[in-house]
Chains A and B, each alone.
Chain A
Amino acid sequence: MSNISRRKLITTGLVATAGVAGLATASRLALNYGLIPPDSGSLYGPGETLTYAAQRLLTRHSLAREFPRSMISKVPFANETAPPNEAFKRHQAAGFSDWRLTVDGMVARPASLSLSDLKTFPVHNQITEVVCEEGWSYIAEWIGTPLVNVLNAIGVLPQARYIVYFSIEPDWWESIDMADALHPQTFLTMGMNDGDLPVSFGGPLRLRVPRQLGYKSVKYITRITATDSLKRFGKGLGSASPEAGYAWYAGI
């Protein structure tokens, strides 16, 4: 073996120290700027943190691709859901006239909104692709109101960092950070392809998050809550997906 020179030893030592210090600074900065995902505690935490941090720096305001009307899929694919529970069936029988969206948590004016209340907000449409983690996709027109309109109306407090949203079906809930919650394409969706949103596609109310995989777009939304920490929800991993082994951040 060749001798390691003193200079080399000192240089290596300095580089290693700088590396450790750099990593420590980076993780502190990442924590301060909200670049660490809630499911970063596992073996896959470093990879998830790199992905989430890189994308938050790159995509905070970017818009999901929108498509011309001619590209709307003739055959959209309604992914299977568990059979609806009794509460849902009762709403369905009543034509969803009593469906309520509760908005609470860190907001100035908690509210319980009916579908017709939601329809008083400005209606927007977007032709975007639904992308499933399995690999398939389809394009549809989605009609609704940007979530940001509702959040502004009820006055989300500045310390809120995440929006957690729940389906009427048990154990089906997700959360997104404020970058996605305030994003103009994140819709409270009530219509699809010029008609009402069909039940198989999440009707009467689905939160569409087009910059993330389909599983973040939870169907049958009944409650939205603003929070500064995801620790108090479920197992504290951010949403039901990490509890089932799937990543919280699904922008990939």
Chain B
Amino acid sequence: MISFLALLTTGVEIVISHPRFYWGETGNSGTAPLFKIPIPSSRDTVPTGYNYVMPDQNGWSRYLHFEAAWVLVLTGFVYVVAGLCTAHFRRNLLPPPAERKWRALLEVFKNYLRRAPPNAAESHSYNVVQRTAYLSVIFVLFPLVIWTGLALSPAFDSAVPAAVNLLGGRQSARTLHFFISGFLVAFLVVHITMIVLAGFWQRVTAMITGRVATHLERT
């Protein structure tokens, strides 16, 4: 969590030094962007249209971005290995066969919208929407954000050129890295909102200890 927030803040700072995105291999202030973020840049070489240059925060941002990436990747690795060894993913995250249907997903959304209280099974385990979201984050978004990030390293690309070539070039990799980070932020926002709605301390205690104080005990 801490390293994700560090990556997010420093990532935003790095984007500020060039808030333009391109597609393909190359792109710079002299070429047409795919899109621009309408903010002033921290470099006066970027034609933003604003008569203002933001303070440059790239030095420490880049140092911290890569250090936080190591922390996140190493803890993520331990988590995935542990999850596979203890069958956590298969037992708790893979939706049971009966629920692998669009209808089951819709049903959960309907309950959310009705603000129906969770049923007994849900307060102790994840429903099918949660399971799908968590699996997508763990096995799709995180691998993709790591891949697109590595593809931005000129030295890594020299050893593994396919890492960047398969993405359609360096600037495509940068643009994809930006969007995938955006999806991860969206997940985080929804995730935290749901935790707050469900009762912050109760859920956080459950996450850390793996135990749930049931409603019966509480009332």
Contacts and interface: CB of A to CB of B under 8 A. Distances in A.
Contact of B66 (A48, A77, A132, A138): A48
A48 B28 contact: no
A151 interface: no
B158 interface: yes
Contacts of B161: 65
A4 interface: no
Interface string B152-179: 1111111101001100001100100000
A185 to B, nearest CB: 9
Interface residues of B, number: 41
A246 interface: yes
Contacts of B86: none
B171 A58 contact: no
Interface stretch (A6-14, A187-195, A208-216): A208-216
Given A67-B25, A129-B25, A135-B15, A212 B63 contact: no
B154 A210 contact: yes
Contact of A137 (B14, B67, B170): B170
A64 B131 CA distance: 41
B200 interface: no
Q: Which of A44, A67, A136, A251 counts the most chain B CB atoms within 10 A?
A: A136
Contacts of B164: 65
Contact of B158 (A65, A75, A137, A138): A65
Main secondary structure of the interface of B (DSSP, over half): helix
A18 B20 CA distance: 48
B153 A71 contact: no
Interface string B170-193: 110010000000000000000000
B212 interface: no
B53 interface: no
A46 B67 contact: yes
A211 B43 contact: no
Contacts of A73: 26, 28, 31
A252 B67 contact: no
B28 A138 contact: yes
B26 A244 contact: no
Given A48-B66, A139-B25, A245 B158 contact: no
A135 B36 CA distance: 13
A47 interface: yes
Contact of B174 (A63, A71, A135): A135
Interface string A209-240: 01111000000000000000000000000000
B155 A252 contact: yes
Contacts of A65: 157-158, 161, 164-165
A131 B43 contact: no
B119 interface: no
Interface string A36-72: 0000001110111011000100110011110100010
22 contacts: A42-B63, A47-B66, A62-B155, A65-B164, A75-B28, A77-B29, A77-B45, A79-B45, A80-B45, A129-B25, A129-B154, A134-B18, A134-B58, A135-B174, A136-B18, A137-B25, A137-B28, A211-B158, A212-B155, A247-B62, A247-B63, A252-B155
Given A44-B60, A139-B26, 11 more contacts: A59-B156, A62-B155, A65-B165, A73-B26, A73-B31, A77-B45, A137-B26, A138-B26, A210-B154, A246-B59, A251-B154
Interface of A: 42-44, 46-48, 50-51, 55, 58-59, 62-65, 67, 71, 73, 75-77, 79-80, 129, 131-139, 210-213, 244-247, 251-252
